[in-house]
Amino acid sequence: MVALRSLIASASLVSFAFTGTAALADVTADQVWQDWKAYLATFGYEVSGDEQQSGNTLAISNIAMTVSVPDTSGFATLRMSRMDLIENDDGTVSIVLPDTTPIALVTEVEPGKTTTATMEFGQSELDMTVSGTPDAMQYDYAADAISLVLNALDVDGETIDIGAANITLANIKGSSTSLDAGETRDVRQKMTAGPVTYELDFTDPTEGGHLALTGSFANTAFDSEVSLPPEIDNTDIAASLDAGFRFDSGMTYQDAGAAYRIEGDGDTLEGTTASASGSIRSAIGVDGLEYEAEGRDISVALTGSDLPFPVTFGMARSGFRMQMPVSQGEEAQDFAFAMDLGDFTLSDTIWSVFDPAGQLPRDPATIAFDLSGKGRLFVDLLNAEQMEDLGASGDTPGELQSLNLNSLVVAAAGAILTGDGAVTFDNSDLTSFGGVPAPEGAVDLKLVGGNGLLDRLIAMGFVPQEQAMTVRMMVGMFAVAGEGEDTLTSRIEVNEQGHVMANGQRLR
């Protein structure tokens, strides 16, 4: 929970530099500076800097942004050396940064326990302009490249060996606008960049392990929408959500790749990954938490001292989606969980280990399911006090009201299992099924090629004949022959009387 709060606060800090509101009028350098400070104050930051006005330029030096770390007595401070706000003749303000700007991030979670990260922000041909009015500003920016480099990391007086830690974004173009929505300030941001490259070379000071990582994206696109109430409480995210806070951010990319090497305890693991395209999205609001990610045309290659041979595999697609409520309420709320590992392929080297004669079909495999439903929470999951009380009491945090299997696909080695169904739950009946809310509904399943796969496994010696006979008998209890060769179907149903049925035959 602390990590989630820190993530929200950090995301807000990153977005502040490109935040404003759309309009066409005049703004001054001081108004832009005051707007930055007011915006960060929304998240609990204290902002300071030495101000010096000279003609049409307001120079801000020794900039410090400090915020308390949730659930601790500590703080985090981000320090920047300088920026100039220059008033233009057309009523806009240009933000000018040096080619390189030293930055220090100082974090003290406990008294005397201090971590200092010394970084350097670099830019090439950065052009950032602010327009609008004092109450409504718009930021437009472009740059040939920007970079962030971690030069040193000191933890409690001990210097951590950082061989490299940097990221560079080229060909940047973006804008940021916000709208006064009455109770909230709605901020919208968009940015494109590419190529994007990153590098990490790190040695663990305690275990001595070493990680070397490089990666890149050919093109990326970012967008986000944030709704901000007058004040964000980093120590009580649940209250902030009730006040209207919402964060929704997405990223898409093309041609991503990475290479890494991990060393430790005399062992080595090396690998590469690549993906033709993909996307990531995360959102949080009073209506719940969402996260989804997708990759296309993925390939992975691994070698290592503990691996007997090189491991390579790929997928045409890989996806994950999660949706869950976070706030208590009297009404049922939606949830969802889905995963798709589509057209998974293994190298012939791996296949030959357990199937040297090639008896199994080597068609691409798929594991995919899509679940959704409704439930009700009795507590706010992001309320620390309520969750502590829940842990102490052992009470249930909520109730499940319905569950839908929208789709199920498991395909491998010449067999394919598909299914769908829906079940509701009676939370007033906890006796019929031994303390579990009584279900009512049905699931339909279909298996094609199952007997053929079992015959091949018997021939390969993986499944003894007597065990195969037991499997066939068990399947016969729950499935019937369907249309087509080697096809079985099954309908598992729980009716309103609490009877469990398989293809019309009562099992319970």
For residue 271, name the pLDDT band (cuts at 50, 70, 90): very high
Average pLDDT over residues 245-273: 93
Structural domain contains residue 54: yes
On the question of pLDDT at 231 being above 80, the answer is no
Asked if 214 contacts 248 with a C-beta cutoff of 8 angstroms, the reply is no
Q: Report the pLDDT value the prediction gives residue 478, as an integer from 0 to 100.
A: 84
On the question of pLDDT at 21 being above 50, the answer is no
Average pLDDT over residues 283-289: 91
For residue 394, name the pLDDT band (cuts at 50, 70, 90): confident
Structural domain contains residue 494: no
Helices (H) and strands (E) in the chain, counts: 7, 26
Q: Report the pLDDT value the prediction gives residue 72, as an integer from 0 to 100.
A: 62
Residue 107 DSSP code: E
Q: What secondary structure, in 3-state letters, does 29-73 show?
A: HHHHHHHHHHHHHCCCCEEEEEEEEECCEEEEEEEEEEEECCCCC
On the question of pLDDT at 347 being above 50, the answer is yes
| Structural domains of the chain, count | 1
For residue 273, name the pLDDT band (cuts at 50, 70, 90): very high
Lowest-confidence range among 18-27, 165-174, 434-443? 18-27
Determine the longest span between alpha carbons in the chain, in angstroms: 92
On the question of pLDDT at 17 being above 80, the answer is no
Asked if 191 contacts 249 with a C-beta cutoff of 8 angstroms, the reply is no
454-463, long-range: CB < 8 A, 24+ apart: 456/359, 456/360, 456/413, 456/414, 459/359, 460/355, 460/357, 460/359, 460/360
Q: Which tens digit of pLDDT belongs to each residue from 138-170?
A: 899 999 999 999 988 888 777 887 889 999 999
Asked if 54 contacts 218 with a C-beta cutoff of 8 angstroms, the reply is no
Asked if 111 contacts 75 with a C-beta cutoff of 8 angstroms, the reply is no
Structural domain contains residue 473: no
Structural domain contains residue 260: no
Q: Report the pLDDT value the prediction gives residue 421, as an integer from 0 to 100.
A: 96
Preceding peptide of 134 cis, ω within 30°? no
User: 482 — phi, psi (to 5°)?
Assistant: -110, -175
User: 389 — phi, psi (to 5°)?
Assistant: -65, -40
Structural domain contains residue 364: no
Q: Report the pLDDT value the prediction gives residue 178, as an integer from 0 to 100.
A: 73
Structural domain contains residue 88: yes
Q: Report the pLDDT value the prediction gives residue 145, as an integer from 0 to 100.
A: 96
Q: Report the pLDDT value the prediction gives residue 8, as an integer from 0 to 100.
A: 42
Q: Name, in order, each residue with C-beta under 8 angstroms of 405's C-beta and a sequence gap of 6 or more.
A: 369, 370, 371, 419, 420, 421, 422, 443
How much of the chain exceeds pLDDT 90, in percent?
46
Average pLDDT over residues 222-234: 84
Q: Which tens digit of pLDDT belongs to each residue from 484-497?
A: 899 999 999 999 88
More confident residue, 375 or 132: 375
Average pLDDT over residues 108-129: 86
Q: Which tens digit of pLDDT belongs to each residue from 23-49?
A: 345 889 999 998 888 888 887 788 989
Rounded distance between C-alpha atoms, residue 94 and residue 81, angstroms:
18
Q: Which tens digit of pLDDT belongs to each residue from 58-114?
A: 999 998 888 876 666 667 788 888 899 999 999 999 999 889 888 888 887 777 778
Q: Report the pLDDT value the prediction gives residue 458, as an integer from 0 to 100.
A: 87
How much of the chain exceeds pLDDT 70, in percent?
93
383, burial (CB in 10 Å: exposed 0-12, middle 13-18, buried 19+)? buried
On the question of pLDDT at 426 being above 50, the answer is yes
For residue 1, name the pLDDT band (cuts at 50, 70, 90): very low
Q: Report the pLDDT value the prediction gives residue 4, as an integer from 0 to 100.
A: 41
On the question of pLDDT at 336 being above 50, the answer is yes
Q: Which tens digit of pLDDT belongs to each residue from 165-205?
A: 999 999 999 999 877 666 777 888 999 998 999 999 988 77
Tracing tokens 């990326």 back to the chain, one arrives at 220
DSSP 112-130: TEEEEEEEEEEEES-EEEE
Structural domain contains residue 477: no
Structural domain containing residue 21: 1-244
Q: Report the pLDDT value the prediction gives residue 74, as an integer from 0 to 100.
A: 67
Structural domain contains residue 121: yes
Rounded distance between C-alpha atoms, residue 243 and residue 233, angstroms:
10
Asked if 38 contacts 20 with a C-beta cutoff of 8 angstroms, the reply is no
Half-sphere exposure of 233 (CA within 13 A, CB side): 14
On the question of pLDDT at 244 being above 90, the answer is no
For residue 2, name the pLDDT band (cuts at 50, 70, 90): very low
Q: Name, in order, each residue with C-beta under 8 angstroms of 378's C-beta and a sequence gap of 6 or more.
A: 328, 395, 396, 397, 398, 399
Half-sphere exposure of 80 (CA within 13 A, CB side): 19
More confident residue, 156 or 11: 156
Q: Which tens digit of pLDDT belongs to each residue from 365-376?
A: 999 999 999 999
